[in-house]
């Protein structure tokens, strides 16, 4: 499960990379470190078929009797037929821009391993394969009802590079314009084929240490 990622890119860089026109890009704080429940930029297809950059809250909301609502940040590729996920993955797919993400090892204390994709820069932009939905209800125990857009992103089997740190899951990563378009608009048999481990030769580790923050020290 990935519950920590960073986005060290400007609004303009994200819009150019994910092919969003300037008038379709909402505002958001730059240089983000993202934890569950935080607001972050997401790219989706608007009703008129154009891409738009909007801000959503990370984590679908799952109500629990007598407890605070739980944020579900990741969606397993082998659980998408569950009623909790099915409608979103069929009708509301999105792209989550990322520059790096972190997984803790089994050390005591744990060391956080930050991963990025290979490219022209040390941490080039890529995207998680995401889904979204509108939530109407509380997000805190005994809290008021709110109406917000929430997102989660898909996970799949780990590759040989990441399984030494996190043995169970790996975010579904999209690093080409073709794959990103297929995820947003492709037919089921096409977008489903993208839920697979990212090639380990196209990834690298950019930081290891106790910090839950990508310090951008290359």
pLDDT (tens, 9 = 90+) of the chain, 218 residues, equals: 789 999 999 999 999 999 999 999 998 877 689 999 999 999 999 999 999 999 999 999 999 888 899 999 999 999 999 999 999 999 999 999 999 999 999 999 999 999 999 999 999 999 999 999 999 999 998 889 999 999 999 999 999 999 989 778 999 999 999 999 999 999 988 999 999 999 999 999 999 999 899 988 76
Instruction: Give me the pLDDT at residue 65, please.
Output: 87
Segments making up each domain of the chain, as ranges: 5-209
**Residue 119 CA, distance from chain mean position:** 19
Angle at 167 between CA 105 and CA 83, to 5 degrees: 115
Return d(Cα 43, Cα 52) in angstroms, integer: 6
User: How many of the other CB atoms lie within 10 Å of CB of 92?
Assistant: 16
* Helix H or strand E segment including 114: strand 112-117
Instruction: Give me the pLDDT at residue 218, please.
Output: 64
Domain 5-209 bears CATH identifier 3.90.1680.10: yes
**Which token pair is 70?**
């739980």
Beta bridge partners of 82: none
């Amino acid at each position: 499960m990935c519950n920590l990622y960073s986005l060290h890119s400007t609004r303009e860089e994200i819009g150019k990379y994910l092919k969003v026109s300037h008038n379709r890009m909402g505002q958001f704080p730059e240089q983000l470190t993202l934890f569950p429940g935080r607001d972050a930029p997401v790219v989706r297809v608007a009703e008129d078929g154009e891409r738009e950059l909007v801000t959503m809250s990370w984590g679908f909301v799952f109500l629990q009797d007598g407890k605070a609502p739980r944020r579900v940040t990741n969606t397993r590729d082998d659980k998408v037929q569950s009623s909790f996920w099915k409608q979103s993955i069929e009708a509301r797919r999105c792209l989550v821009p990322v520059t790096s993400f972190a997984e803790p090892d089994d050390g005591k204390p744990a060391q956080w391993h930050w991963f990025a994709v290979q490219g022209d820069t040390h941490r080039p932009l890529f995207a998680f394969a995401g889904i979204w939905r509108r939530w109407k209800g509380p997000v805190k125990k005994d809290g008021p009802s709110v109406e917000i857009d929430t997102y989660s992103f898909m996970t799949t089997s780990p590759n040989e590079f990441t399984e030494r740190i996190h043995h169970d899951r790996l975010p579904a990563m999209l690093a080409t314009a073709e794959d990103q378009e297929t995820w947003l608009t492709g037919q089921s048999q096409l977008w489903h084929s993208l839920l697979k481990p990212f090639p380990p030769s196209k990834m690298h580790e950019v930081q290891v240490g106790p910090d839950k923050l990508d310090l951008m020290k290359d």
